[in-house]
Amino acid sequence: AQSVAQPEDQVNVAEGNPLTVKCTYSVSGNPYLFWYVQYPNRGLQFLLKYITGDNLVKGSYGFEAEFNKSQTSFHLKKPSALVSDSALYFCAVRVANSGNTPLVFGKGTRLSVIA
Amino acid sequence: DGGITQSPKYLFRKEGQNVTLSCEQNLNHDAMYWYRQDPGQGLRLIYYSQIVNDFQKGDIAEGYSVSREKKESFPLTVTSAQKNPTAFYLCASTIRSGAGPDEQFFGPGTRLTVL
């Protein structure tokens, strides 16, 4: 079985400060890991993914994520937060070489960036 | 929200009525998915389809039905057997079936309210 945990329901950060949204995963095998963002009453937008190779993945809107196999984590980061980054963020996982099975999502973390 | 359209955006239903949510994609994607989103619960998989005329149950399929008669269309019917259907419903697609690292693209969602 595969699962994702996002331990924080809410993250608050001041504008201009660095932000981190945490994600840990559990899979049998190697993971493919994804981050999505959702604005109110909208669908999810893809930010970035880790497949293999470099542990630091860069994505859209200045976001990046670091894959840590020993800690089974894939935390989302941004060096300087913007008010417009305020949204709901989802981490997702799929086991590598399992076919295109559906992604398993975490419960989401609401990010609030305060001006 | 890419090339996936969901209609209607808002839908109201009386108890005991079946209702069908539309999902159409012009991305030529093979696989399509339906998720249900409730506050604090993240995304839960209802059904998915890897190819035309084939689909599989997800984690919460009870009270729902789907069809995949055309590659571009994957409608979801919420039946009267679904005891708590009020939720935000998201349709997604993936370019290939059977290849693991592809991200899912999401539609804008349909908010269903049972009166």
pLDDT tens for residues A46-87? 999 999 989 999 999 999 999 999 999 999 999 999 999 999
- Give pLDDT tens digits for A88-112: 999 999 988 776 678 999 999 999 9
Q: Higher confidence at residue A13 or residue A29?
A: A13
CA distance A99 to chain B (A): 4
In A18-114, DSSP assigns E strands to 19-21, 24-26, 31-38, 44-50, 56-58, 64-68, 73-78, 87-95, 104-105, 109-114
Least CA distance to A4: which residue of chain B? B42
Q: Do A43 and B4 touch (CB under 8 A)?
A: yes
Taking one residue from A and the other from B, the number of pairs with CB-CB distance under 8 angstroms is 72
Q: Do A100 and B40 touch (CB under 8 A)?
A: no
Least CA distance to B112: which residue of chain A? A41
pLDDT band at B37 (very low <50, low <70, confident <90, very high): very high
* B46 to A86, A109, A114, B74, B81: CA distances (angstroms): 28, 22, 36, 12, 14
Assess whether pLDDT exceeds 60 at residue A2. Answer: yes
Assess whether pLDDT exceeds 80 at residue B65. Answer: yes
- Dihedral angle sign, alpha carbons of residues B56, B61, B62, B64: negative
pLDDT at A100: 67
Query: CA end-to-end span of chain A, whole Å?
Result: 41
State the best of A100, A105, A109, A110 to mutate against chain B, taking most chain B CBs within 10 Å: A100
N residues, chain A: 115
- Give pLDDT tens digits for A19-53: 999 999 999 888 999 999 999 889 999 999 999 98
